[in-house]
Structure 1
Amino acid sequence: MRLVPILLSFFFFTSGLVYAQDINGFEIARVKYRGGGDWYNDPSSLSNLIRYTNQYVPISINGNYEDVSLGSTDIHSYPFLFLTGHGTITTNNTEVRNLRKYLDNGGFLYVDDDYGLDEHVRQLLKEVYPDEELIELPFNHPIYNQVFEFNNGLPKIHEHDNQSPKGFGLFRNGRLVVFYTYESNLGDGWADPEVHNNAPDVRERALKMGVNILVYALTSI
Structure 2
Amino acid sequence: MRALCGLRSRTGALLGLLLLGALLALAQMRDRVWSRYEAEMQDPVDDPPDALRKAEFKLGRLRYRSPMDRGRRRYARWGIDVNKGDRIFVSLLQRLTRIEIQPIETIIDIGSDEIFNLPWVFAGSVGDWELSPSEAERLRKYFDRGGFLMVDDFHNEREWANFMAGIHQINPDARAEELEDGDPAFRTVFDLKNRVRVPGANVVHGDMIERGGIEPHWRTIRDAQGRMQIAICFNMDVGDGWEFADDPDYPERYSSEAIRLGVNYVIYSMTH
Tell me how far 1:74 sits from its aligned partner.
Answer: 0.7
User: Does 1 or 2 have the higher relative contact order (CA < 8 Å, sep 6+)?
Assistant: 1
Partner of 2:145 in structure 1? 105
Partner of 1:74 in structure 2? 114
Partner of 1:168 in structure 2? 219
Matched, 1:126 2:168: yes
Partner of 1:157 in structure 2? 198
Matched, 1:135 2:186: no
Tell me how far 1:114 sits from its aligned partner.
Answer: 4.1
Distance 2:238 2:138 in 1: 26
Contact 1:188 1:196 in 2 (8 A): no
Distance 1:54 1:94 in 2: 34
Matches within 5 A, 1:1-221: 24-35=55-66, 36=69, 38-43=77-82, 44-85=84-125, 87-115=127-155, 117-152=159-194, 154-158=195-199, 159-160=208-209, 161=212, 163-174=214-225, 175-193=227-245, 197-220=249-272
Tell me how far 1:196 sits from its aligned partner.
Answer: 9.3
Contact 1:110 1:179 in 2 (8 A): yes
Distance 1:50 1:197 in 2: 22
| Runs of 5+ unmatched residues, structure 2 | 1-52, 70-75, 200-207
Structure with greater proportional strand content? 1
For 1:170-221, what per-residue CA distance to the aligned partner results, in whole angstroms no more than 9, with x for missing partners?
Answer: 111222111111122111100034679321222112111111111111222x
Q: Which amino acid aligns with 2:172?
A: P
Tell me how far 1:71 sits from its aligned partner.
Answer: 1.8
Distance 1:132 1:39 in 2: 23
Indicate how the Cα distance of structure 1 residues 196 and 105 shifts in structure 2: closer, same or farther if over 3 A, else same. farther
Distance 2:246 2:98 in 1: 29
Q: CA RMSD in A?
A: 2.1
TM-score by structure 2 length? 0.67
SS in 2 for 1:26: coil
Aligned residue pairs, count = 198
Distance 1:74 1:98 in 2: 10
Contact 2:59 2:120 in 1 (8 A): yes
Contact 2:244 2:255 in 1 (8 A): no
Indicate how the Cα distance of structure 1 residues 193 and 39 shifts in structure 2: closer, same or farther if over 3 A, else same. same
Tell me how far 1:28 sits from its aligned partner.
Answer: 2.2
Contact 1:155 1:184 in 2 (8 A): no
Distance 2:139 2:81 in 1: 23
Tell me how far 1:120 sits from its aligned partner.
Answer: 2.4
Distance 2:129 2:104 in 1: 25
Distance 1:196 1:170 in 2: 35
TM-score by structure 1 length? 0.82
Partner of 1:7 in structure 2? none
Structure with greater proportional helix content? 2
Distance 2:216 2:183 in 1: 15
Partner of 2:41 in structure 1? none
SS in 1 for 2:128: coil
Q: Which amino acid aligns with 2:186?
A: Y
